[in-house]
Amino acid sequence: MLRSRVIPCLLLRDGGLVKTRHFKDAKYVGDPLNAVKIFNEKGVDELMLLDIDATAKQHTPNFELIRSIAVESRMPLCYGGGITTAAQAARVISLGFEKISISAAALERPALIGEMAEAVGSQSVVVTLDVRKNTLFSGYTVYTHNGRDKRKVDLLEFCQQAVSLGAGEIVINSIDRDGAMSGYDLELAKRVRASITSPLSILGGAGQIGHMQDLIDTVGVVGAAAGSMFVFKGPYRAVLISYTRPTRLM
């Protein structure tokens, strides 16, 4: 039986960890291997690591760092950033990660989703979509390359297409809520949940356990992902890596 998951999401840049706000103002928050060691002791459901510059700068994945993280980790791992071929996806999986995440590459060539699913299994293919709420019209727009490039696709239609092509999970990341710690965009979560039945995770906005519980209560079984909540402490956002779970996970 599926159950909701709590997923810390760490952002990689130049081999270190950073945290952004609205995809800007990246703040250094530590070493990824140290973070993995801490989360190992916390009973984390899953850890997601995204290299936020790999696609924007056309870098391939840092396989040496990926290997080092996998060796250190005792929890399920998902990696995203710079993966553009099924062979690269297979290599990441072979190094010890359970999932790979793709975004711009999937939007540019959706057939890649099926190729990766065939290579590593649908359960290991995650499509992550960064979205921003439209200011003049209802709905949401998909962006890539750290929120700089607008994509002319319908969010819900592409989620359905990705699943039909073999994506085992969809992750929706709210640019508007990124780093704000004021709560998830529950309307966005409801819209996507109503459009697909496959595993879904929501990222962007969590600042306290109550926000995760609100998300779970609103959409049911879901991955509640967060970054700032697990790396900052207090009103001055002091860096402190921690992990807490909601008490009423479904």
Q: What's the burial of 201, exposed, middle or buried (CB within 10 Å: 0-12/13-18/19+)?
A: buried
178 is catalytic: no
DSSP β-ladder status, 232-233 and 125-133? unpaired
Torsion of CA 171, 160, 88, 10, to 10 degrees: 0
Between CA 99 and CA 105, with CA 100 as vertex, the angle to 5 degrees is 155
**Residue tagged active-site, from 45, 130, 185, 214:** 130
Element (H, E) at 106: helix 104-108
| Strand intervals (E) in 72-204 | 77-80, 99-102, 125-133, 140-144, 149-151, 169-174, 200-203
- CB-CB contact of 42 with 63 (8 Å): no
Catalytic sites, residue numbers = 130
